[in-house]
């Protein structure tokens, strides 16, 4: 197994693991740490918005684009210390507590798209009115599958 190191501009990433199976399937993954200041707010017409972060993934080559696939998972940690990787898309229930009896309930959606050399991860609240800078830190794993 070869271990390579890859990093995007402002997003922290760790090791890239590479495995080649006997059946011609090749798999590699890269772990990224996204910080709240890595997200970019995109305003839509009518005041709606979403936030996203674009990851530089040079391992997504033309061969992967044409004959492979890419998945993204988020690392979730429970209070008891248990960790699990959850594949995107992820829908979560959230609420804002204003310190009074007034609470705003909404859900968030974490999704992605990928293309040649990149993955874009989107974080959207169902109220579409996120405050800039309120996006969470998170650990993501990009897994690249290609076939010979």
For the segment 98-112, the average pLDDT, to the nearest whole number, is 76
Q: For the ranges 57-61, 117-121, 122-126, 144-148, which has the lowest average pLDDT?
A: 122-126
Q: Does residue 69 register a pLDDT over 90?
A: yes
> CA–CA separation, 31 vs 15, rounded Å?
7
Instruction: Name the 3-class secondary structure at 62.
Output: helix
Is the pLDDT higher at 1 or at 108?
108
Helix (H) or strand (E) holding 93: strand 90-97
Where are the domains positioned within the chain?
32-140
> CA–CA separation, 148 vs 21, rounded Å?
10
pLDDT, position 41: 80
Q: Does residue 127 register a pLDDT over 70?
A: no
Q: Does residue 87 register a pLDDT over 60?
A: yes
- Token duo for residue 53: 């972060």
Q: For the ranges 26-30, 54-58, 66-70, 103-107, which has the lowest average pLDDT?
A: 103-107
**pLDDT bracket for residue 84 (50, 70, 90):** very high
Is the pLDDT higher at 137 or at 23?
137
Rg (CA), the chain: 17
Percentage of residues of the chain with pLDDT beyond 90: 40
The reported pTM is 0.76
pLDDT, position 3: 32
Mean of per-residue pLDDT scores for the chain? 79
């Amino acid at each position: 197994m070869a271990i390579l190191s890859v990093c995007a501009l402002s997003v922290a990433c760790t090791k890239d693991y590479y495995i080649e199976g006997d059946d011609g399937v090749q798999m590699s993954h890269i772990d990224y740490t996204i910080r709240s200041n890595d997200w970019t707010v995109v305003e839509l017409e009518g005041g709606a918005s979403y936030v996203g972060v674009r990851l530089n993934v040079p391992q997504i080559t033309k061969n992967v684009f044409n004959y492979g696939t890419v998945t993204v998972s988020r690392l979730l940690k429970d209070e008891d210390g248990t960790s699990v990787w959850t594949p995107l898309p992820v829908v979560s229930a959230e609420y804002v507590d204003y310190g009074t009896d007034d609470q705003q309930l909404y859900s968030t959606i974490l999704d992605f798209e990928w293309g040649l050399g990149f993955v874009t991860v989107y974080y959207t609240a169902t109220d579409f009115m996120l405050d800039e800078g309120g996006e969470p830190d998170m650990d993501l794993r990009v897994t690249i599958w290609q076939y010979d």
